[in-house]
Amino acid sequence: MTKLYLTRHGETEWNEEGRMQGFGDSPLTELGENQAIWLKERMKDLHIDVIYSSPIGRAFNTAKIIRGDRDIPLICHDGLKEMSFGDWEGQDQETIKSMAKENHFNFWNVPSKYIPTGKGETFNEVKERSFKTINEILEKEKGKTILIVTHTITLKSYLTALENRDIDTLWEPPFIKQTSLTEINFTEDGYEIPLVACMEHHKYSKKEYNEGE
């Protein structure tokens, strides 16, 4: 059996400000670092053979926190990057909505009709990229336990492809909150998904944490 854990990076400054990140980046907030620590605590007794991460700082730094001082290889893979948002990167939601109301609506509601700007990607391109990348990792690390640290759309796109769903189902619940944990077990007979976007590890917080949106 090959066991795959998938998670999203911790909260960033741009997350807090409602800005689109994509290939762009901003630092983890104090909460974002704590979210990674909480997941580290949850996974500390789980065997992990290898960690793969998006090379974008917010994901890579989350991966480093989760690994801690454990002797686990940490490998960056460009195929795990977030969707490129082109000219929208660094812009806040309200600004984008005021400039491109219909396209902004399609982004969040009808992904198949979203039209990227600049060097941005379509949702289907990310779906194909994420599925190809993770399948290559699964083949290379067959029989092992793998942790992948990536981004919301990349993770959701992979699940959409794995379950052979239309791209317009991508934003259906559950939402992939920061450092939420998804588990998929692959066997010769197929796969099972015992956990999707699980947030139970936030109980490790020393203060009450409101997940928010």
Buried b (16+ CB within 10 A) or exposed e, 52-67: bbbebebbbbbbebbb
Among residues 11, 82, 89, 121, the one annotated as catalytic is 82
Element containing residue 58 per DSSP (H, E)? helix 57-67
Catalytic: 151?
Answer: no
Q: What does the block give as tokens for 107? A: 């982004």
DSSP states along 118-163: TT---HHHHHHHHHHHHHHHHHHTTTSEEEEEE-HHHHHHHHHHHT
Query: Where would I find the beta strands (DSSP E) of 9-96?
Result: 50-53, 74-76
Say what the alpha-carbon torsion angle 27, 137, 50, 81 is, to the nearest 10 degrees: 0
Sheet holding 2-8, edge to edge: 74-76, 50-53, 145-150, 2-8, 181-187, 190-198
Active-site positions read 9, 82
